[in-house]
Amino acid sequence: MTQQTGATAKVEEYLEAVYNIAMEGEAVIGARLAEKFQVAPPSVTEMLKRLVRDGYIEMDERRQVTLTSEGQQLAEAVLRRHRLTERFLVDMLGMSWHEVHEEACRLEHFISGAVEQRVVAALGHPTTCPHGNPIPGYVPDAKNYLAEHQAFRLSQADQGVPVRILCISEVVEDEEELILYLNEKGLKPEQVLRLSSQNRDEAAALLDVSGRAVSIPERVASKIWVVKA
């Protein structure tokens, strides 16, 4: 099998990461990417130089990274295949939503346009992946999806006000233990819940999930995007 673009899988993964971090309103810098990929900063620097050379990204005087139009187009193409693959694994093959990210990562680079169209038709033209993130090309503006839905992090929710989980941050989808943890806590897209209280000293959030008291670290709460219920 061969990839469907001239870019390598590693290039595509970097462009995905830049896209996802920027989508959540965070500055994209080398240190953030080094943390994401768990590699040494010099490795990230070399990759960023390559991406600039190939016309996929630009870097400003503060070394912040933004995608060029070509880079965004490629990132969205890869994300579209990734999220459609996750949807296929859940809806057609019966896998659980917290199990499919790594499988989709292995498959996303090798899906042709023809296969993509058949998957879309078989799934009934889905708009989001099982984690709630938008599928580029099947929503009006995937890059501004969170802003258009007026989504905010669960850690920033008002206490006692019902909210609905819109999506789980794509930035942490590859943290299998975290996604499994959310599944065990019943914190899935579309779940309605309330923030009961926050313990700043212990950096924890206490939630009311369908009448169940659930405590999660505030770091985890910040990775859950919600909207007013």
pLDDT in tens, 152-170: 999 999 999 999 999 999 8
What is the band of 26 on the pLDDT scale with cuts at 50, 70, 90? very high
pLDDT in tens, 79-97: 999 999 999 999 999 999 9
- Identify whether the C-beta of residue 10 lies closer than 8 Å to the C-beta of residue 18: no
Rg (CA), the chain: 18
pLDDT in tens, 105-116: 888 877 888 989
Can you tell me the distance from the alpha carbon of 204 to that of 36, in angstroms, rounded to the nearest whole number?
23
Alpha-carbon separation of residue 107 from 53, 59, 143, 160 (angstroms):
27, 30, 23, 42
Q: For 59-66, what is the mean pLDDT?
A: 95
What is the band of 200 on the pLDDT scale with cuts at 50, 70, 90? low
What is the DSSP-derived secondary structure letter of residue 158? Answer: P
Q: What are phi and psi of 191, to 5 degrees?
A: -70, 130
What's the whole-number average pLDDT of the chain?
Answer: 92
